[in-house]
Structure 1
């Protein structure tokens, strides 16, 4: 979608754009969009101090009207956290037949981290966030998205939407990858607000869902309710897993639309975090081929041995 100043955060941020058939990174600051002589992958190979110095040299002004807004991700992997708020613990227990799994991880020393998306799959501001066609209960999950560099330093923040199939995960916690990882299941945007320009630790986070012009969900919470520190979660992600182009980390949700709500194509989802920005997506259906992998019936072990 075209870059509109009203869609960009008030704080200085990195914006990925397409201009003249080419993709690039720009710096939005003081109501002005300027060219950056490095891509996001390249910037995230630098230390935070080096990155700040590199951004201080951005110069050439860009015409907003000639730019298309893209998701703020290149080669970055996107990971996510679960059960980082009391409400998310309760919601996961409500949907699951294995409730103690979520009760235990809430207070456990080791957090829940899981892979969410490849960077090239991330949906940006104004794009279509997906629901699986084989899911009977799907929800958007608003989250603080944390951008880290290859050194594990937090360098940016954005709004994130961790689309999830609660019906699939509810059948069995081991189905979490299928409930969480599918086409258009992750949206991040509108841009990466620079970490040294904002402290979102006590910011309000809101989500509003509308359908056919009517609001069907409107909720608010505070990031101060998170029981784990985003920087510490980021450190755990990097602890034994090198990320040469950095990563985005979705840090969990405390806003869960209650039943009977399930996301439907055409719904509009607006996620806003104070000081970080506003992410708007419309819901689209993600086709399912109908593929199945039925278990084979096994004969008795002694018969299989020929006994």
Structure 2
């Protein structure tokens, strides 16, 4: 299993404390420290400060125990000390088709109409025609317009290519505020899906003013058969119980970690199956087609405000084609798969795959959080 090298940086997260509820935490000298206060009782409030990193570094707090213990445990319910997703009131948004490699796979999904048996033949034909030619094209550029015209003439244009190389990025709602799961929790697949995979991504924390204040890791679970049948099924494919994992912490920008580090991040993926199958993959942020700052500006601005800020998935280069069970069948999850997404400086996010209908129901929403904080006299 991959390590979880969270040894430095200004870390911001959340835990569930027994008998208390959700608390804002950081990490100091290898220990998790509760820094919840009436000045910043939520992660959202910390992210809205002028200098979130300075607040987290200086805030008084109570040590809750070794970080290693929390990172190692599997826990997603019950009144036990456990890590939560490191965001609370922020809605979860995501960008799709931001890498040329995964863009081609989205085209293949569309052409295969969600049927993995047809994907290999289509992959060979489409990939030979456009697989390499689009990698160096800047979205929205004159070169992109020329390529679009040529692909239309060949009958190969797709809605995925439109958002992949056109002027407008795909930005969609991945999950509701407070619905994401964290490190060690189960991550859910809709039971109607038979062709699916993890999506290892870098995730940005963005303030209500559109300022990027830190980054984390995320798994934007992809139901390839459902979305492949129709792009109008995107919400059904993306927003399900426990289908969004974020964590283990938000690493805040400070003197030692900036947006430029995000731009160069390497994200590694390992899937370890109950059938002894092991899948490894990676996503390199250096190959992203649109700059993270541009993606943020397309998500938030005068056209769309987020008074509680937002969390933004940046997309992935990873699109698995390795056969798991049958030749030509490609990869799909099995219940019990352990998915680990890791990146130097951001740690490792580990979750175990289950059906959304078997993962703990999401019941702790915004009203429950407000009632909890009011009871604790924090608001």
Q: Name the TM-score class by shorter chain.
A: 0.7 to 0.9
Aligned residue runs from structure 1 range 134-153, under 5 A: 134-153=192-211
Q: How do 1:51-66 and structure 2 match up within 5 A?
A: 51-64=52-65
How high is the TM-score relative to the length of structure 1? 0.85
Q: Deviations over 1:230-264 (max 9, x none)?
A: 12211221122221221110100111221521112
Residue 121, structure 1, aligned to residue 179, structure 2: yes
TM-score by length of 2: 0.70
The reply to whether residue 192 of structure 1 matches residue 192 of structure 2 is no
How far is the alpha carbon of 1:155 from its aligned partner?
A: 1.0
> Structure 1 residue 135: deviation in Å?
1.1
Whether the 8 Å contact between 1:200 and 1:275 is mirrored in structure 2 is no
User: Per-residue deviation at 1:8?
Assistant: 4.2
| Cα separation, 1, equivalents of 2:34 and 2:247 | 19
Q: Is the 8 A contact 2:10 2:53 kept in 1?
A: no
Q: How does 1:37-116 map to 2 (within 5 A)?
A: 37=37, 38=40, 39-47=42-50, 49=51, 51-64=52-65, 67-97=81-111, 100-116=158-174
Q: How does 1:251-270 map to 2 (within 5 A)?
A: 251-258=314-321, 259-270=329-340
Q: What pairs with 1:285-300 in structure 2 (closer than 5 Å)?
A: 285-287=355-357
Please name the residue that 1:35 is paired with: 34
Tell me if 1:205 matches 2:267: yes
Q: Which residue of 2 aligns with 1:283?
A: 353
The 3-state SS of whatever aligns with 1:120 is: coil
Task: State the superposition RMSD in angstroms.
Answer: 2.1
Counterpart pick for 1:274 among 344, 357, 364? 344
60-69 or 209-218, which moves further after superposition? 60-69
CA contact (8 A) 1:128 1:283 kept: yes
More strand by percentage: 1
Q: In the alignment, what sits opposite 1:230?
A: 292
How many correspondences in the alignment?
Answer: 282
1:121 aligns to what SS in structure 2?
coil
Distance in 2 between residues matched to 1:67 and 1:131, nearest whole Å? 25
Q: Retained in 2: the 8 A contact 1:78–1:118?
A: yes
In the other structure, the counterpart of 2:70 is none
- The residue aligned with 2:228 is 170
**Counterpart contact for 2:183–2:349, Cα < 8 Å:** yes
Contact 1:152–1:235, Cα closer than 8 Å, also in 2? yes
**Residues 190-243 of structure 1, C-alpha deviations (whole Å, 9 max, x = no match):** 010112242221121111111126243101231101111112211221122221
2:16–2:81 contact (8 Å) kept in structure 1: yes
Aligned to 1:214: 276
